[in-house]
């Protein structure tokens, strides 16, 4: 690693955050081509082991970077390389949904989120690996911190690429826990926005009542920047807190399923934040919120099975046993009345949660049940994610813990619906105290 004249280490370009990259390019300190080349060099060195990418064309990426530099174009993501999950349409790359059924599938336009990213000056490097139809059957990606362990699904490639310094930011999606869980397992920031705020046009639908985009990044500032880019609004700085936050420690009805070491990490973090000035109290969800796990299951399964009717009817034998015996089995045999009842349960709990917040700013809980398990198919902890995803609340995983095997574990902060900016402010404060 190179050093400044004062002896301070200089980070390689591929390790810069998006925010640092934008500032450096604006100041003339580097070029988009140099940053893209550094990311591609990292990919060349590590991709054979990590397997984060479903599609990559280095020459096309460098040509785009050179064109950006020559154009003099600027924007909120000026010159920043990014990746997108391979269920998100791009006009110049295949989008295969993690299944051989759609091998080579191409569209003639970008998804809204990709178009907004390019409009803001971002340079798309490629498509990151997803699980089959963004469900449970794993792709080739391995956890960059330990190649014997899962990176989680379904935004596996996006999380691993960011964690391994292949790209500063990437887009994933979440229907159950597909952004928060891989962020926790891979040790990056993972953000699932308030449901409905971002356009999903051009993104493969899994369950339209639950699907959102997700952002994987290496700083809260990058998450906040990219969130505004994907909203198509002028980016705003993270607001400054005028006081330490009021935090509710939420153990929820699945707390006893979380690994003891992880429970202790979260509870110790709550005490640490309290000593740092936060007001920390226990936040107890009503007991009947436990119904949300089944509600999520029946909503997501019923919608998923109908979304993929064509594949079921025409390519059943090419669908994995994992998917056929899980969500598709639930959905195909799903009952419409039970589906409607599940939607009503979720809507009722959302309304009740709004009234339970009081003066609490954010909730604190675990972002996963524990460390990434050994094996690529080991996606632990679905009940933890079903609850919060069904509630449509914004969530962010903070890479602040290490587990018994020195693997990353995230702390999760949750805010009231549409309080995403407050979530970022509290996340920035909490991260500064816990790292």
Query: Which residues are marked as active site?
Result: 85, 154, 178
Q: Kindly state the DSSP code that residue 237 receives in the 8-state scheme.
A: P
Give the DSSP letter string of 170-201. Answer: EEEEESSSTTHHHHHHHTSEEEEPPTTSS--T
DSSP notation for 69-94: HHHT---TTTT-EEEEETTB-BTTB-
What phi and psi, each to the nearest 5 degrees, are found at residue 372? -60, 125
Sign for the CA dihedral angle at 181, 182, 185, 186 comes to negative
Instruction: Indicate if the alpha-carbon torsion angle 37, 40, 46, 48 is positive or negative.
Output: negative
Alpha helices in 85-145 (DSSP H): 112-119
Q: What is the DSSP secondary structure assignment for residue 277, as one 8-state letter?
A: T
Rg (CA), the chain: 21
Q: What does the block give as tokens for 284?
A: 């107890």
Closest alpha carbon to 346 in 295, 290, 308:
295
Q: Which residue is it, tokens 């991709």?
A: 47
Label residue 63 exposed, middle or buried (CB < 10 Å: 0-12, 13-18, 19+). middle
CB 410 within 8 A of CB 401: yes
What are φ and ψ of residue 159, in 5° steps?
-65, -45
Cα atoms found within 13 Å of the Cα of residue 236, Cβ hemisphere only: 10
Dihedral (CA of 156, 377, 185, 220) sign: positive
* Three-state DSSP class for residue 413: strand
Cα separation, 312 vs 413, whole angstroms:
38
Query: Is residue 195 classed as helix, strand or coil in its secondary structure?
Result: coil
Could you tell me if residue 418 is left (phi over 0), alpha (psi between -120 and 50 degrees) or otherwise beta?
left
């Amino acid at each position: 690693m190179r050093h400044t004249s004062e002896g301070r280490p200089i980070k390689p370009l591929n390790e810069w955050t998006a925010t640092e990259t934008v500032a450096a390019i604006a100041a003339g300190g580097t070029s988009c081509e140099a940053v893209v080349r550094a990311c591609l060099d990292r990919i060349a060195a590590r991709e054979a082991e990590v397997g984060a990418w479903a599609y990559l064309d280095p020459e096309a990426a460098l040509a785009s970077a050179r064109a950006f530099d020559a154009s003099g174009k600027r924007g909120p993501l000026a010159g920043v390389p990014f990746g997108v999950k391979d269920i998100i349409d791009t006009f110049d790359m295949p989008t295969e949904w993690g299944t051989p059924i759609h091998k080579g599938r191409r569209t003639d336009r970008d998804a809204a989120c990709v178009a907004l990213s390019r409009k803001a000056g971002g340079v798309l490097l490629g498509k990151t690996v997803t699980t089959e139809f963004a469900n449970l059957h794993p792709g080739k990606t391995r956890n960059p911190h330990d190649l014997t362990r899962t990176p989680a699904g379904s935004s596996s490639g996006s999380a691993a690429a960011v964690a391994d310094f292949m790209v500063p930011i990437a887009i994933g999606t979440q229907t159950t826990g597909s952004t928060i869980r891989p962020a926790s397992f891979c040790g990056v920031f993972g953000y699932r926005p308030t449901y409905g705020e971002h356009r999903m046009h051009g993104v493969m639908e899994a369950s339209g009542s639950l699907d959102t985009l997700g952002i994987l990044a290496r700083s809260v500032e990058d998450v906040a920047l990219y969130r505004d880019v994907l909203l198509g609004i002028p980016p705003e700085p993270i607001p400054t807190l005028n006081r330490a936050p009021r935090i509710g420690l939420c153990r929820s009805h699945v707390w006893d399923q979380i690994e003891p070491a992880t429970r202790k990490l979260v509870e110790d973090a709550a005490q640490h934040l309290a000593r740092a000035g936060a007001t920390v109290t226990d936040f107890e969800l009503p007991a009947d919120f436990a119904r949300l796990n089944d509600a999520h299951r029946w909503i997501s399964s019923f919608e998923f099975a109908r979304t993929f009717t064509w594949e079921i009817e025409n390519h059943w034998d090419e669908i994995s046993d994992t998917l056929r015996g899980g969500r598709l089995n639930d959905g195909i045999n799903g009952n419409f009345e039970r589906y409607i009842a599940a939607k009503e349960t979720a809507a009722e709990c959302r309304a009740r949660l709004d009234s339970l917040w009081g003066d609490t700013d954010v909730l604190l809980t675990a972002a996963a049940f524990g460390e990434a398990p050994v094996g690529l198919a080991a996606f632990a902890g679905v009940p933890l994610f079903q609850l919060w995803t069904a509630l449509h609340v914004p969530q962010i995983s903070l890479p602040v813990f290490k587990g018994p095997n020195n693997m990353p574990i995230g702390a999760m902060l949750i805010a009231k619906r549409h309080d995403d900016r407050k979530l970022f402010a509290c996340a920035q404060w909490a991260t500064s105290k816990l790292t």
